[in-house]
Amino acid sequence: MDYLYFLATASLTLRVTQYLHSMTHLPPACMTVIHQINGWIVKVKFSQSLTPEQHGDFQAFMLELGIPYMPEMRLQMVFWSLETGQSTIDVMRRYQVAIVSHGMPDANDIEAFRQQFTRGLGYCPETLA
């Protein structure tokens, strides 16, 4: 099952990566992080089905941080392209979207994106806080 959420800030997105790394009782997950002007879209896909208890716990955690997200067709195509193994760079170019991270949850990708984006602007927008 896929978990797709909209999060307001980079800090919340980083909390998801920390949670996935700290919860050893959860199976390994693939996490896709997309930055948009108004926030972050996070998709988490576990390598195997979660038990009903794990599902409830993870869903409750995600609801504390953000809201469930229903992607428009363009983002559905982005996720499908990534799942079929297409290059992240090619997908970003084709769909004009900022894919910050795809694969194993990695806080370093999010931090690097945040620093580069902020450095380029000269200030830190609210979504990057």
pTM of the model: 0.90
Q: Where are the alpha helices (DSSP H) in the chain?
A: 10-22, 52-65, 73-83, 88-95, 107-121
Report which residue type is found at 43.
K
Instruction: Give, for 126, the enclosing helix (H) or strand (E).
Output: none
Whether 34 and 99 have beta carbons less than 8 Å apart is answered as yes
Task: Report the pLDDT value the prediction gives residue 126, as an integer from 0 to 100.
Answer: 72
Which one, of 79, 82, 81, lies nearest residue 69 by Cα? Answer: 79
Q: In tens digits, what is the pLDDT along the chain, a chain of 129 residues?
A: 899 999 999 999 999 999 999 888 888 889 999 999 899 999 999 999 999 999 999 999 999 999 999 999 999 999 999 999 999 999 999 999 999 999 999 899 999 988 887 776 676 667 766
Which CATH number applies to 2-117: 3.30.70.1950, 1.10.3720.10, 3.40.50.620, 3.30.365.10? 3.30.70.1950
Task: Report the pLDDT value the prediction gives residue 65, as an integer from 0 to 100.
Answer: 97
